[in-house]
């Protein structure tokens, strides 16, 4: 029964996320109240919000899905691994100045600022775990994809602040001028993003990896249905809580121009990210499985972490969340389209071996919670 319910949720995840967004727009009150809940840790007086706790649970489950032994082959040939992590980390620097230039003539500077800040946050985040599960579905090199997700996550306390700072400079007054004031973004890069990535992203993931190593695959497989069920509920609850403030205001005070701008620009940036990954994989002459994994790693970012960070630092501007929420849906829709096409090509070409296909088997399905894919793994 539980397995069937979880499978249905995974199959219809994109539609369920849309449903959560709709509920958040119509009934934002409970979501805003949940977002205000905090947990004070006894050590150091650290205060965690409910979205941060939910994100940590997602990352812990992601760690449970990592088999370190499967990554040894990738580490012996690290060129593709380094390329995927580097291209994803440099996305804000490459894409956002172009967006800032294109939006220079938009009449509402406030809308441009909200859009750019939202895109800066989501593009600066590490690779989404969904890149591994989508890559598996499309016939990609799964150990490579998992290694890129893990490497990007572990480096996020360094790459996220660097990406925020560089992107803020490039689209700020010293660059394209899309952002008139980068003070809060600079403050986030200087003092907030690194500790956030360490506490809410890296540590939970490492704890999950350690738990799997200590418990072993056999014990993990016994609790796998419960892990998947908790993960599914966690993903949907986080979607609702993150969307409550922004979408509630958007429906209460509709602005068709802003919504059209957010959807259009977010869609173009999402497509550009996937195309950049595909171009890089062709330019470096990757084989088909590596090409698929690099494409998804470049195109998918951890939008859940970006939404949590935006809600904490830009609560006075809930419209900053709109491009993050839009990007979260669009990258999954884009992954589905790219995955279907790549899967058909991979069927007629070389496929990754049994070891690669097994890398996300069992508890590996939990890895998709970094950026949950809307399909079941095969």
Looking at per-residue confidence, does 44 or 210 come out higher?
210
Give residue-wise pLDDT tens across range 338-358: 767 665 555 554 444 433 333
Least confident of 210-219, 316-325, 348-357: 348-357
* Angle formed at CA 150 by CA 4 and CA 189, multiple of 5 degrees: 115
Q: Give the pLDDT score at 263.
A: 92
Mean pLDDT of the chain: 80
Give residue-wise pLDDT tens across range 37-66: 887 766 555 677 888 888 888 888 888 877
Handedness of CA 54, 57, 142, 301 (dihedral sign): positive
Q: Is pLDDT of 297 > 70?
A: yes
Q: Is pLDDT of 366 > 60?
A: no
- Closest by Cα among 332, 329, 340, 334 to 378: 340
Place of tokens 């993150």: 242
Alpha carbon dihedral 247, 117, 296, 157, in 10-degree steps, equals -110
Q: Is pLDDT of 367 > 80?
A: no
Q: Is pLDDT of 371 > 70?
A: no
Q: What average pLDDT does the segment 138-144 reach?
A: 83
- Closest by Cα among 371, 372, 377 to 359: 377
Least confident of 26-30, 35-39, 90-94: 35-39
Q: Residue 258: CB partners within 8 Å, gap ≥ 6?
A: 108, 111, 114, 250, 319, 322
* Contact criterion met (CB below 8 Å) for 339 and 134: yes
DSSP E strands in the chain: the ranges are: 38-40, 47-49
Q: Give the pLDDT score at 368.
A: 39
* Contact criterion met (CB below 8 Å) for 343 and 139: yes
Overall fold of domain 39-370: Na+/H+ antiporter like fold (1.20.1530)
The residues spanned by each domain of the chain are: 39-370
In the numeric block, which tokens belong to residue 83?
């390329």
* Contact criterion met (CB below 8 Å) for 374 and 10: yes
């Amino acid at each position: 029964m539980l397995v069937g319910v979880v499978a249905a949720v995974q199959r219809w995840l994109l539609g369920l996320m849309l449903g959560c967004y709709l509920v958040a727009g119509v009934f934002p009150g409970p979501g805003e109240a949940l977002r205000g809940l905090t947990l004070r840790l006894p050590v150091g007086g650290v205060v965690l919000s409910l979205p941060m706790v939910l994100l940590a649970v997602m990352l812990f489950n992601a760690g449970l899905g990592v088999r370190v032994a499967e990554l040894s082959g990738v580490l012996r040939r690290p060129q593709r691994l380094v390329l995927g992590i580097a291209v994803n980390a440099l996305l804000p620097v490459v894409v956002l100045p172009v967006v800032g230039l294109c939006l220079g003539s938009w009449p509402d500077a406030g809308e441009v600022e909200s859009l750019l800040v939202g895109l800066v946050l989501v593009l600066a985040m590490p690779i989404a775990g969904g890149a591994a599960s989508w890559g598996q579905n499309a016939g990609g090199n799964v150990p490579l994809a998992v290694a890129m997700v893990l490497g990007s996550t572990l480096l996020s306390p360094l790459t996220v602040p660097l990406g925020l700072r560089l992107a803020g400079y490039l689209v700020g007054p010293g660059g394209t001028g899309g952002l008139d004031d980068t003070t809060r973004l600079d403050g986030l890069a200087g003092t907030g993003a690194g500790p956030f990535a360490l506490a809410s992203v890296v540590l939970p993931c490492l704890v999950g990896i350690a738990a799997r190593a200590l418990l072993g695959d056999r014990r993990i497989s016994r609790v796998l249905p419960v892990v998947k069920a908790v993960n599914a509920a966690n993903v949907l609850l986080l979607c609702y809580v993150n969307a409550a403030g922004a979408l509630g205001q958007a429906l209460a005070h509709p602005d068709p121009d802003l919504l059209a701008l957010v959807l259009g620009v977010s869609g173009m940036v999402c497509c550009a990210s996937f195309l950049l990954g595909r171009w890089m994989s062709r330019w470096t002459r990757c084989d088909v499985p590596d090409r698929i994994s690099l494409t998804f790693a470049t195109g998918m970012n951890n939008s859940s972490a970006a939404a949590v960070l935006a809600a904490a630092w830009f609560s006075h501007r809930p419209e900053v969340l709109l491009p993050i929420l839009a990007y979260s849906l669009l990258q999954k829709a884009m992954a589905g389209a790219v995955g279907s096409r790549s899967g058909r090509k991979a069927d007629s070409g070389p496929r990754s071996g049994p070891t690669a296909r097994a890398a996300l088997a069992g508890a590996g399905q939990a890895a998709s919670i970094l950026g949950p894919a809307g399909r079941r793994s095969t």
